[in-house]
């Protein structure tokens, strides 16, 4: 843990710490206050506060959910934080998380009546990190878990994004916020392109 750069380490410890509070019997209260609730007719199902567009990312829906997200954060976060720098990494993570939350809220609002529940999890930020990795090191090899096939990062990210789009459109794995994953990637892409545009204007 000491080898992780500061922002990645803070995100990791925050998510694990909040999950510890969930296990201590505070889950219902934390979900009510800090999860991101769907819109219904312009009104949130639970009292909405602006902080929920970020706070939902620190809550998780089970130990496997937490473990998968923290493993991905451990794998991709340090390299991207060192590449972007601390301040840009924080900005990037927040934009991805907010983009994921807004996208999922819109998808639930436009979906079937009564669809979806409160959203939790850092997956939107994680998918943003995955996109950044693929854009920064497109030829780097990443290995699929099932089947264990090495792919260049750009192809891995593209296929993963298409898979999430297909699952979201078809409604497969309805308990998973596929549109949030896409929203995290989209938010990250917009920010990266904006940074590149600014850099080209000042060079």
Domains (range + CATH), the chain: 6-202 (1.20.1540.10)
Each of the 203 residues of the chain gets a pLDDT tens digit; together they read 668 999 999 999 999 999 999 999 999 999 989 999 877 654 545 566 788 999 999 999 999 999 999 999 999 999 999 999 999 999 999 999 999 999 988 887 777 544 567 899 999 999 999 999 999 999 999 887 667 888 899 999 998 888 888 887 776 666 788 889 999 999 999 999 999 988 888 76
Instruction: Give me the residue label for tokens 């409604």.
Output: 171
Distance CA 31, CA 187 (A): 24
Q: How many CB atoms lie within 10 A of CB 180?
A: 29
* 153, two tokens: 């990062």
Distance CA 106, CA 126 (A): 20
- pTM for this predicted structure: 0.90
Question: Which residues partner with 119 through β-bridges?
Answer: 36
């Amino acid at each position: 843990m000491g080898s992780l750069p500061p922002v990645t380490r803070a995100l990791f410890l925050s998510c694990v710490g909040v999950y510890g509070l969930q296990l201590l019997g505070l889950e219902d209260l934390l979900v009510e206050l800090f999860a991101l609730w769907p819109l219904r007719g312009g009104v949130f199902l639970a009292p909405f506060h602006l902080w929920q567009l970020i706070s939902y990312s620190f809550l998780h829906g089970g130990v496997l959910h937490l473990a998968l997200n923290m493993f991905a954060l451990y794998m991709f976060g340090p390299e991207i934080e060192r590449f972007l720098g601390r301040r840009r990494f924080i900005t990037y993570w927040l934009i991805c998380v907010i983009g994921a939350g807004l996208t999922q809220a819109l998808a639930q609002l436009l979906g079937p009546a009564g669809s979806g529940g409160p959203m939790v999890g850092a997956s939107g930020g994680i998918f943003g990190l995955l996109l950044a990795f693929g854009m920064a090191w497109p030829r780097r090899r990443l290995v699929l878990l099932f089947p264990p096939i090495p792919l260049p990062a750009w192809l891995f990210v593209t296929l993963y994004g298409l898979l999430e789009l297909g699952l979201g459109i078809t409604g497969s794995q309805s308990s998973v916020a596929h549109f949030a994953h896409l929203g995290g990637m989209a938010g990250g892409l917009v920010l990266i392109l904006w940074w590149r545009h600014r850099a080209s204007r000042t060079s």
